[in-house]
């Protein structure tokens, strides 16, 4: 049976009106005030692989109620509804159109876990509808979409968090950032991240024919209209330029995060990338091998998308980052790091006292921020845009075969019409993205 709870939104509305709580009398009013205030009503938009994972994480939180679930694939929607019913004994509202979730007054926030080409529109529309937003990484499909999301978050004063959870779900990046910032590694002139690349053709997990209950036209949304193609659909969409930028961009934010955080990177002067399809012969499109270089004053950030881990650091696994200092080097993956000097590991390297506060967890931080109205979550969409846009630009450099001179103030490539064409997409009708004025001040990180 459906459990009837008063949402934060309903509670705040009632409190503003004053009448209904007063009518409950002292004790009852206090009790209701507490329960209502503590429950965040969430709408899930997109419940495929990752959306189902995020749903399960949110379900563990006693102060979150799943008010609605939306997916354009009825099979995914039904699977998610069944999970909530089994775990919690209630059934959220079900929709195939995310705009109906945004119409729900009792929904406080939404989690947007759709493919990349479907991140910006639901996010900006949700901000406009007064909802807070958790949205997956990479933040956006294009630079212009990320800019619109960042600006809308400030314009509508909404809480946001991008789904690069390594930032907060492990303490490792905090310890790495502290060591790098302490200066004990000496002068760092190269930061070299890697992610292992696919060396086999991509396999589809989807049926050859469009499954019953899927609204493929809605799934395509702002992307060009095409007939159904199993490889372009759930899961493997990311290997096509219409929807994403390959495994290259898929992991970009997770590892670039530690480099930007530790080095305080804002914007590089130039972005260049070379690569190709050296392994894959299927009809996917994105690169399977790439070297990207962001040129900062005094430091190069290199992201190698390669078949194996960085030589010498195979034991760190498929994704990692090496900070090359004149005194010592630090290599990190998501969960652990090591310090090396003169070709040897230095386990007793002197570490600074920890100074970055622990996180309550990535999703927890988001839910707490909804309640406290903290717009400065650690991975808000402004930070998400700062990380994501340079991965998008690396893909543009690769696709246009040009070294991009970047004007971060105006967010344009200097003197390169061909590259600037890729900064925004033509939306297929009727889809569009509302753009709000860019805030004044430190707009590079805003």
Ligand X SMILES: NC(=O)c1ccc[n+]([C@@H]2O[C@H](COP(=O)([O-])OP(=O)(O)OC[C@H]3O[C@@H](n4cnc5c(N)ncnc54)[C@H](O)[C@@H]3O)[C@@H](O)[C@H]2O)c1
Q: Out of 58, 118, 301, 305, point to the residue binding ligand X (CB under 6 A).
A: 118
Q: Residue 43 interacts with ligand X (CB under 6 A)?
A: no
Cβ-proximal residues to 225 (8 Å cutoff; 6+ apart), any chain: 217, 428
Q: Concatenated DSSP letters for 3-44?
A: -----HHHHHHHHHH-HHHHHH-HHHHHHHHHHHHHPEEEEE
Cβ proximity to ligand X: between 234 and 306 the closer is 234
What residues between 165 and 184 interact with ligand X by CB under 6 A? Answer: 165
The candidate with the shortest Cα–Cα distance to 404, out of 416, 387, 392, is 416
Which C-beta is closer to ligand X: that of 111 or that of 176?
Answer: 111
Which residue lies nearest ligand X, judged by its C-beta? 48
Closer residue to ligand X (CB): 45 or 133: 45
Pairing assessment for the beta strands 337-341 and 344-345 based on DSSP bridges: antiparallel
Task: Build a one-symbol-per-residue string for 262-301: x at contacts with ligand X by CB under 6 A, - elsewhere.
Answer: ----------------------------------------
Helices (H) and strands (E) in the chain, counts: 16, 16
Residue whose tokens read 């290997």: 239
The HSE-up count of residue 440 (CA atoms within 13 Å, CB side) is 0
Q: Which is nearer to ligand X, 11 or 243 (CB)?
A: 243
145 interacts with ligand X by CB under 6 A: no
Q: How far is it, in rounded angstroms, from Cα 28 to Cα 224?
A: 55
* Nearest Cα to Cα of residue 108 among 366, 431, 382: 366
For ligand X, which stretch binds (CB under 6 A), given 42-50, 60-68, 84-92, 376-384?
Answer: 42-50
Q: Are 274 and 293 in contact (CB under 8 A)?
A: no
- Taking the C-alpha atoms of residue 55 and residue 53, their distance in angstroms, rounded to an integer, is 5
Beta bridge partners of 413: 406
Host H or E run for residue 246:
helix 246-250
Decide if residue 47 touches ligand X (CB under 6 A): yes
Closest CA to 41 of 13, 78, 73: 13
Q: Whose Cβ is closer to ligand X: residue 305's or residue 406's?
A: 305
Interface with ligand X, residue 113, by CB under 6 A: yes
Query: Counting contacts by CB under 6 A, is residue 219 touching ligand X?
Result: yes
Instruction: Let me know how long the chain is.
Output: 446
Contact residue for ligand X among 14, 42, 43, 48 (CB under 6 A): 48
Binding mask 371-410 for ligand X (x = CB under 6 A): ----------------------------------------
- CA–CA gap between residue 288 and residue 393 (Å, rounded): 17
Size of the site for ligand X (CB under 6 A): 28
Q: What is the DSSP string of 334-364?
A: SS-EEEEETTEE-TTPPPPPP-SPPPS-HHH
Stretch that binds ligand X, among 33-41, 107-115, 195-203, 386-394 (CB under 6 A): 107-115
Of residues 49 through 88, those in contact with ligand X by CB under 6 A are 49-51, 70-73, 76
Query: Is 88 or 99 the residue whose CB approaches ligand X more closely?
Result: 99
Given 146, 221, 245, 320, the residue binding ligand X (CB under 6 A): 221
Binds ligand X (CB under 6 A): choice among 250, 324, 365, 411: 250
Q: Provide the minimum distance between the beta carbon of 337 and ligand X in the complex, in angstroms, as a whole number.
A: 20
Residue 111 pairs in a beta bridge with 44, 134
Give the relative orientation of helices 143-155 and 381-400 as an angle to the nearest 10 degrees. Answer: 170
Q: Which stretch binds ligand X (CB under 6 A): 56-64, 216-224, 334-342, 428-436?
A: 216-224
To ligand X, the closest distance from the beta carbon of 253 in angstroms equals 8
Binding window for ligand X (CB under 6 A); candidates: 82-90, 115-123, 139-147, 277-285: 115-123
Which region among 46-54, 256-264, 300-308, 378-386 touches ligand X (by CB under 6 A)? Answer: 46-54
Structure tokens given for 260: 């930007």
- The reply to whether 195 sits near ligand X by the rule CB under 6 A is no
> Between residues 115 and 309, which has the closer beta carbon with respect to ligand X?
115
How big is the chain by its Cα radius of gyration, in Å?
23
Q: Which residues bind ligand X (CB under 6 A)?
A: 45-51, 70-73, 76, 98, 113-116, 118, 136-137, 163, 165, 218-219, 221, 234-235, 250
């Amino acid at each position: 049976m459906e459990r009837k709870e008063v949402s934060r939104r309903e509670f705040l509305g009632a409190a503003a009106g004053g009448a209904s709580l007063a009518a409950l009398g002292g004790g009852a009013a206090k009790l209701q005030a507490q329960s209502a205030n503590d429950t965040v009503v969430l709408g899930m938009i997109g419940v495929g692989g990752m959306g189902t994972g995020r749903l399960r994480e949110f379900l563990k939180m006693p102060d979150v109620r799943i008010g609605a679930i939306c997916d354009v694939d009825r099979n995914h929607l039904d699977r998610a509804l069944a999970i909530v019913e089994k775990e919690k004994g209630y059934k959220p509202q079900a929709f195939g159109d995310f705009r109906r979730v945004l119409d729900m007054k009792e929904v406080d926030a939404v989690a947007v876990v759709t493919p990349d080409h479907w991140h910006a529109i639901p996010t900006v529309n949700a901000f406009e509808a007064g909802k807070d937003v958790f949205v997956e990484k990479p933040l956006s499909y294009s630079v212009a979409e990320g800019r619109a999301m960042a600006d809308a978050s400030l314009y509508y004063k909404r809480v946001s968090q991008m789904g690069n959870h390594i930032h907060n779900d492990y303490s490792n990046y905090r310890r790495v950032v502290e060591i790098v910032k302490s200066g004990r590694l000496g002068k760092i002139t190269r930061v070299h991240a890697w992610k292992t690349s696919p060396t086999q053709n991509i396999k589809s997990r989807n049926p050859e024919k469009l499954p019953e209950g899927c609204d493929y036209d809605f799934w395509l949304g702002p992307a060009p209209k095409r007939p159904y193609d199993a490889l372009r659909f759930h899961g493997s969409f990311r290997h096509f330029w219409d929807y994403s930028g390959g495994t290259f961009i898929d992991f970009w934010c997770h590892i670039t995060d530690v480099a930007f955080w530790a080095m305080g990177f804002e914007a590089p002067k130039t972005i260049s990338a070379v690569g190709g399809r050296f392994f894959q012969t299927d009809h996917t499109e994105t690169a399977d091998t790439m070297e990207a270089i962001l040129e900062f004053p005094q430091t190069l950030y290199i992201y190698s998308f390669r078949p194996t881990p960085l030589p010498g650091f195979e034991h760190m696994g498929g994704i990692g980052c090496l900070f090359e200092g004149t005194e010592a080097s630090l290599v990190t993956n998501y969960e652990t790091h090591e310090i090396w000097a003169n070709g040897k590991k230095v386990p007793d390297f002197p570490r600074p006292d920890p100074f970055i506060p622990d996180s309550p967890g990535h999703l927890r931080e988001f839910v707490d921020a909804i309640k406290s109205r903290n717009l400065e979550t650690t991975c808000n969409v402004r930070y998400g845009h700062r990380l994501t846009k340079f991965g998008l630009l690396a893909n543009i450099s690769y696709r246009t075969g040009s070294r991009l001179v970047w004007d971060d103030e105006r967010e344009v490539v200097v003197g390169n019409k061909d590259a600037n064409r890729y900064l925004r997409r033509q939306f297929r009708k009727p889809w569009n993205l509302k753009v709000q004025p860019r805030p004044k001040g430190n707009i590079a990180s805003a």
